[in-house]
Structure 1
Amino acid sequence: MRTTLLLLLVLLAPSLFAQAEMTEKEVNLQKQFIEAKREALLGKTDEAIGLFEGILENDPENDPALFELARLQYAAGNTAPAINALKQAYAIRPNEVYAAFLAELYLAAGRYRDGADLYATLVKRNPAEPENYLEQAAFLVRAQDTKEAIRVYEALEDEIGINAELTRRKHALYVGTGDMKRAERELAALIEAFPDQVDYRHLLAGFYRSQDEDKQAREVYEQILRMEPADVRAQLALQDAAPSAGSPSGGGDDGELMALLARTDVDLDLKIGKLLPLINQVASTGDRTLADRALTLAEELRRVHPDDAKAAAILGDLYYHSDRLTEAAEAYRATLELDDTVYPVWEQLLATLYLDNQSVDLRKYGEEALDIFPNRPSVYLYYALGEAFRGDFGEANSLLQQAQLMVSANPEAAEALKEMAAALSNMDDGSGLGDINAAQLPGGPEAPLAVYLRQLSDPSAATLLSLDHPANTNALLLELMGDVSSDAGNKEDAAGYYRRAKAAGSKSSSLAGKNS
C-alpha cells in the first residue's frame, strides 16, 4: 500500500486559490503555508509542525494544512497525532490521496480494525473497485477476523465472478483455520468454473498431496494426463507416487532418470527436483561413489541446459561436497559466467578458492565480488585472506577492518573476526598459531589459515607437500614449501617453489633473498 501524493498546487487549489480575489486573511494564510512548506523542505520538522498548527488555529477547516501536518507528524514518529490530523482532513474532503495515506498510518499503528472500516466505506462508495475489497480483507486478516475477511472476498467474487487469485486467498484462509473441507471446495469450484484450465487442477492435486491424500491426488493427476498427455508435472507426480528401483533413493541404475534429464521439453526445475534427494545425500555424507553417480546425472543436465546457471552450480556443489575443490571452483566460475547476480554462488566460489589455496583467483574474484556486493562482510573476509597469503598484510588488515565494522552488532561474528585479526598479526611476524582458537578461523582448524600458522612454528615436509597441487597459488605456503625443501637439501625443488611464489604475486620481503 503506497501513499499517492498530489502536487502541492493541486491540494491547495480548492481551499486557498479557488477565489479570483483573496482576502487579506487568505493572503496571509497562503504566505504562512508557503513558509511552513519551506521549513519542511529544509528538514526543520518541528518548526514546520508549529507553523501548520498556527495556520489551523486560524483556519481549522484547511484540509491541505491538516494533510501536511499529518505527513510531518508521521515523519517525526508521532503516528497518533498524524492519524488525528489526517482523519480531520479526510472528513473535510474525502479523496483517494487522503484515504491511502490514512490506511498507511493505520497499518503503521497496528489499528487494523480502523483500516478495515476505512476500506469498508470506500467499498460502499465504489463497489466496482476490486482493490478496496482486497485492502479491506487484508486489514481484517491482520486483525485476525478471518471469517469477515472471507465474507469480503465473497462480496468481491459476487461483483467480478470466480477468480483464481480470490480462490487462492480464500483457500489459504481456510487452510490456516484448519477447515480443509472448505479449502478443498474452493479449489473444486474454481475447476468447475474453468474446467479447461489444467493449472487449477494442479492446485487441487497439490493440496491433496499436502494432506497426504495420495489416492485423490493421483485421480486428479490422471485427469490432467487425459486432458494433456504430455504434462510433465503430472507424469513426474505419478512417478513419485510409485518410485522405481532406479530412482535416486532406490540405488539402482539411473536409466529412467537419465532419460528424463535428456528431455528438452521438461522444465529444468522439475529435473532438479528429481535430482535433489541424491544431491542432499552427497552433501550430508560426502560419499564419493554416490557423488560420482550424481555427477554423471548432473553432467547430462548440464549438457541439455548449457546456458542455465543452475545446472553448472549443481556440478559445483557435487564436486565441493565430495572434496574435489579444484573442479568445484571451475564449476562455480562457469556458473558466474552465466549469471553473476546470485550472491551465494560468489560466496561459495570464494570459500572454495580459499580452501583450495587458489589465492590469485581468490583476490581476483574477491575484487569482482566487491563491485557487485559491497555490503557483504564475507567478501571482505575472503579478499583479506587472498591478500594475506601473498604477504600484503596492510591491505589484508584494511579489508578485515571493513568486515569488522559490518558485523559490529553481531558478537559471535565479531569475535571470529577478532581471532582472524590476531592470526594475520601472527602470520606477519612469523609467530605461528600461538593462543589463537583455530576453530574460529575461516574454515576451521584444518583450513589453510590454521594449517599455515601451525606449519610456521612446526613445519612438516610431508604435510606441506600433501597440500600442493597444480592450481595452488598460495604464495606464502609455496615459500614455506621452498624453505622446507631447501633445509632438506632439495635446492632444485626449493627454487621451483620460490618461482611459483613470485609468480603468484608474493609481497614477502623474505622471498627476495632466496634462490629462485
Structure 2
Amino acid sequence: MRYLLLLPLFALVHFLGAQGAVNEREVGLEGRFIEAMQEALLGKTDEAITKFRALLEDDSRNDPALFELGRLEYAAGNTPAAIEALRSAYGLRPNEVYAAFLAELYQSAGRYREGADLYAERIKVNPAETGNYLERAAFQVRDQDIKGAVKTYEDLEGRIGINPEVTRLKHALYLGTGDLKRAERELTRLVEAFPDHVGFRHLLAGYYSSQNDDKNAREVYRAILQLEPDDVRAQLALQDAAPRAGAGTGDSELMALLGRADVDLDLKVGKLLPLVQQVATTGDRDLADRLLVLTGELRRVHPDAAKASAIEGDLYFHSGRPAEAADAYRATLKLDDTVYPVWEQLMASLYLSNQMADLRKYGEEALDIFPNRPSIYVHYALGEAFRGDFAAANSLLQQAQFMVSASPESAAALEELTTAVALLKKPVAKMEVDTDRLPGGNNGPLALYLRQVNEPDSAILSAADNPLNTNALLLELMGDARQRAGDRDAAADFYTRARAAGSKSPTLSEKISRLKS
C-alpha cells in the first residue's frame, strides 16, 4: 500500500505528459480521465471505477487509466481485477512503479510464482539492480521454491560478491531446511571474506552456541579477543562472571564489570537477574545484601537508568524490607514511570510498610496512567479503607471486581478482600475470613488488624510500627492498646498521628477529647 498515495499524481502527470500534440479526441479523453480522478479523490470508488472502465473501452492502451483502475479495484477488495488491470498497464509500459505495485498485488493474492516470474523479467531488464534479486528470492521462498531462492541469491553473489545481507538470508534458508552444514558454511564464508569484522564473528559464535557446539563457539570468541581484547561480549562468553550463592569469589569480578562505563547496561543486568530471581525464590537476605552492594555500583555508573534502581527495589522487597523497597521504586518512577510492574511493586511495598497516605497518592497517579489494572484499584482501596473512607474503598473494589469477573479465582479472592474490608468498618468477635488470601498474606496489615481489633496487644502492634506509618486505623488501634494499658500520653500520640494520616474514623475525635478531659 506504500504506493497508493503516489499513484494518482503519478498517473495524472504521466497521462498529461504523454499527450504531445493533442487533438480534439485526446482532449476529451484527458477530460474524462480528470473526471474519474476527481471521483476517486472524493472517495467515490465505485463511480470512479465505472468512469475508468468506460474510458478504457475507448482507449484500451491508456496505461495510466489502467494503473488507476487497478488501484481502485484493490481498494474495493477486487484483487483479481486489480491484478489484471496492472498486468495490462505493465505490459504497455514496463516500469519500476507498475512492477512494484503489481508485485504487491501478487503477494496479497498469494500468487507467489507470478511474483517471482515478474522479478525474473525485471532482472533481465536491469541485471545490476540488487533489489530485483532480493524480491524474486523472497517470492520464491513464499512459493516454497527454496532451491530456486538459493540459486537467485547465488546469481546475485556472482555479480556483487559475498554480501552480509545475502549471506544471512541464505543461512536462514539452510537453517530452516535443516541443512546445518551449509548454514554453518555461509557464516564461515562471511568471516573469511571480512576477517576484521568482529560482528560477523559474533554471528558465527552465536550460531555455534545455538547448536550447543561450545568448543567451536569458544574458539571463535578467542579469535574475537585477539582482534578486540576489550570485547565484553566475548569476555563474558568465555567466563562465568556471576557470583554464586554461598561463594563470593565472583563478586570482585562482577563488581569490576559493573563499574565499567563502556559495558552495555543490559549485559550487566543480564548477569544480575538470575541472582535477583534466586533472592525472589528463597528470600535469602545475605545474598540480597551482597547483591545490593553490586547494584549500588550499577546505580553509580548508570545514575539515569531506571533498571538499576528497580533491581535494587526488587532485592529489598524480596528480602522482607518493604520500606526500603518503596524508596527504590520511587526513584525508579522518577526516571521512568511507564513500566507497570514497578507501580505494582511500589504499591505493594507501601501497603506492607503501612505507608497508606503514599499508597493513596500513588494509587491515584497510577490510575491516570493504567486505568484498566485491577491491582491498582485493590491497593488504592486498601489505602482508603485504612483511613476509614469505606465508601471510596468499596467503590474501588467494585471496579476491580468488574474487571476480574471473567476469572473465577480472582473474583473469589476479591470477594474475600471485600469481606475483610467490611470487617474493618464493623469488627465481629469471630472473624470468618481466610487471611492467607488477603494482600500481604497472614502477616500483612489487613490480617494483623483483623486479628488485633478486638483484643489489641501493644507489643505485637508496636512491632508493626515505623516512623513512616500512616495507617490511620492501625495507629488508632495502637492508641487503644496503650490506653488500655494506662499509658495516656502514648495513646494520645498515636491518636494524633492517626488524625495527621487523614483518618476519617468517626470514633477518633471522641477518643482524643476523652484523653484531654
Tell me the TM-score normalized by structure 1. Answer: 0.79
Quick one: structure 1 residues 199 and 371, their matched pair in 2 at CA, closer, same or farther if it must change by over 3 Å? same
CA–CA distance in structure 2, aligned partners of residues 176 and 2 of structure 1: 30
Partner of 2:86: 90
Partner of 2:469: 472
Is 1:385 the equivalent of 2:362?
no
Secondary structure of the residue that 1:514 maps to in structure 2?
helix
Contact 1:3 1:104 (C-alpha < 8 Å) held by counterparts: no
CA–CA distance in structure 2, aligned partners of residues 354 and 362 of structure 1: 7
Deviations 1:386-412 (A, max 9, x none): 334333444445555555666566665
Deviations 1:69-112 (A, max 9, x none): 42243xxxxxxx3x223213322334766766666666666666
Instruction: Indicate which of 295, 298, 302 corresponds to 1:298.
Output: 295
Quick one: structure 1 residues 391 and 173, their matched pair in 2 at CA, closer, same or farther if it must change by over 3 Å? farther
Is 1:71 the equivalent of 2:67?
no
Partner of 2:230: 230
* 83-92 vs 458-467, greater mean Cα deviation: 458-467
Contact 1:52 1:69 (C-alpha < 8 Å) held by counterparts: no
| Pairing of 1:88-167 with structure 2 (within 5 A) | 88-94=84-90, 126-131=126-131, 133-138=133-138, 140-141=140-141, 145-167=145-167
Secondary structure of the residue that 1:189 maps to in structure 2?
helix
Deviation at 1:113, TM superposition (A): 5.7
CA–CA distance in structure 2, aligned partners of residues 207 and 503 of structure 1: 63
Partner of 2:173: 173
Is 1:197 the equivalent of 2:213?
no
Quick one: structure 1 residues 341 and 484, their matched pair in 2 at CA, closer, same or farther if it must change by over 3 Å? same
CA–CA distance in structure 2, aligned partners of residues 16 and 24 of structure 1: 12
Is 1:287 the equivalent of 2:281?
no
Secondary structure of the residue that 1:190 maps to in structure 2?
helix
CA–CA distance in structure 1, aligned partners of residues 110 and 435 of structure 2: 48
Contact 1:298 1:314 (C-alpha < 8 Å) held by counterparts: yes
CA–CA distance in structure 1, aligned partners of residues 216 and 496 of structure 2: 70
Quick one: structure 1 residues 123 and 282, their matched pair in 2 at CA, closer, same or farther if it must change by over 3 Å? farther
Partner of 1:58: 54
* 414-423 vs 487-496, greater mean Cα deviation: 414-423
Contact 2:245 2:287 (C-alpha < 8 Å) held by counterparts: no
Identity %: 60
| Pairing of 1:306-325 with structure 2 (within 5 A) | 306-325=303-322
CA–CA distance in structure 1, aligned partners of residues 32 and 415 of structure 2: 63
Partner of 2:508: 511
Deviation at 1:136, TM superposition (A): 4.8
- Which stretches in structure 1 are left out of the alignment for 5+ residues? 41-47, 74-80
Counting matched residue pairs gives: 496
Instruction: Indicate which of 232, 251, 254 corresponds to 2:247.
Output: 251
* 327-336 vs 398-407, greater mean Cα deviation: 398-407
Instruction: Indicate which of 258, 266, 270 corresponds to 1:269.
Output: 266
Is 1:239 the equivalent of 2:239?
yes
Quick one: structure 1 residues 10 and 169, their matched pair in 2 at CA, closer, same or farther if it must change by over 3 Å? closer
Deviation at 1:195, TM superposition (A): 1.0
Partner of 1:220: 220
Quick one: structure 1 residues 188 and 28, their matched pair in 2 at CA, closer, same or farther if it must change by over 3 Å? closer
Deviations 1:183-225 (A, max 9, x none): 2212211111111112222222222233332322222222222
CA–CA distance in structure 1, aligned partners of residues 99 and 409 of structure 2: 46
Secondary structure of the residue that 1:507 maps to in structure 2?
coil
Structure 2 residue identity aligned to 1:282: V
Quick one: structure 1 residues 5 and 303, their matched pair in 2 at CA, closer, same or farther if it must change by over 3 Å? same
Deviations 1:246-278 (A, max 9, x none): 942671433333333334444433333333443
Secondary structure of the residue that 1:93 maps to in structure 2?
helix
CA–CA distance in structure 2, aligned partners of residues 111 and 421 of structure 1: 59
* 307-316 vs 326-335, greater mean Cα deviation: 307-316
Contact 1:106 1:114 (C-alpha < 8 Å) held by counterparts: yes
Is 1:366 the equivalent of 2:363?
yes
CA–CA distance in structure 2, aligned partners of residues 98 and 427 of structure 1: 73
- Which stretches in structure 2 are left out of the alignment for 5+ residues? none
Quick one: structure 1 residues 235 and 26, their matched pair in 2 at CA, closer, same or farther if it must change by over 3 Å? closer
Structure 1 residue identity aligned to 2:467: P
Quick one: structure 1 residues 217 and 503, their matched pair in 2 at CA, closer, same or farther if it must change by over 3 Å? same
Quick one: structure 1 residues 396 and 211, their matched pair in 2 at CA, closer, same or farther if it must change by over 3 Å? same
